[in-house]
Chain A
Amino acid sequence: DIQMTQFPSTLSASAGDRVTITCRASQTISNCMAWFQQKPGEAPKLLIYDASSLQSGVPSSFSGSGSGTEFTLTIASLQPDDFATYYCQQYYYYPWTFGQGTKVEIK
């Protein structure tokens, strides 16, 4: 299986901060990368697909980049609603696999 390694595992930040989360794939996955946001008790919510395409309805403060094995999710200016856990997921190889998550918490 493709291993997805996310870092950091926890990120402490303040509202208004620019934050970046990195995800590294154990093999090249082209641009077949999605990013999700999850809040406690809720389902994951799609933010980004195809590494950099913004899902409809998602604020433009979220952006994704990368291809091959290294990818980043950037939040340009952290809002109170953005404190959550973020997951990367590859869909290039079967089985589809997820990163272990990055919790963005209030500093």
Chain B
Amino acid sequence: QAQLQESGPGQVRPSQTLSLTCTVSGGSVSTGDYYWSWVRQSPGKGLEWIGYIFYSGSTYYNPSLKSRLTMSVDTSKDQFSLTLTSVTAADTAVYFCARAAKASYNILTGYYYYMDVWGKGTAVTVSS
């Protein structure tokens, strides 16, 4: 069974860049069966899906974060990463990485995906 583990700084200064990495064990990011996602949770906004990346590097970002967000994948290390620029207090949250597996299939749009395996989360505080 795959396991995911987030890592990164617990505190970031306002206007700086937040970088987080998710390491996958017991599986590989290179399998074409999954997308690799990020979700965050803050008291004020609840659970918010950030976006996902495929092993090929193709991405989909939440439009609310798209202008500040970059995701990348390192297949040699079985890791994927998130970079969020120009952070503010509103970016303070617990950040989770999650694996998204194939769900039902639509002949017009292809597969839908659901998040089945999650990391334990890492708390990030934006503060000077």
CA distance A49 to B98 in the complex (A): 15
CA distance A87 to B49 in the complex (A): 13
The DSSP consensus for interface residues of chain B is strand
Q: Does A14 interact with chain B (Cβ within 8 Å)?
A: no
Query: Chain A interface residue count: which class?
Result: 20 to 34
Contact B112–A32 (Cβ < 8 Å): yes
Contact A43–B103 (Cβ < 8 Å): no
Q: Which residue of B is nearest A95, CB measured?
A: B62
Given contacts A50-B103, A101-B46, contact A92 B112 (CB under 8 A): yes
Shortest 4 CB-CB contacts between residues of A and residues of B: A98-B47, A43-B118, A96-B49, A95-B62
Beyond A46-B115, A98-B47, 11 extra complex contacts between A and B, CB < 8 Å: A43-B120, A50-B103, A50-B114, A55-B116, A87-B46, A87-B47, A91-B103, A91-B112, A94-B62, A95-B64, A100-B46
Interface of A with B (CB < 8 Å)?
A: 30-32, 34, 42-46, 49-50, 55, 87, 89, 91-92, 94-98, 100-101
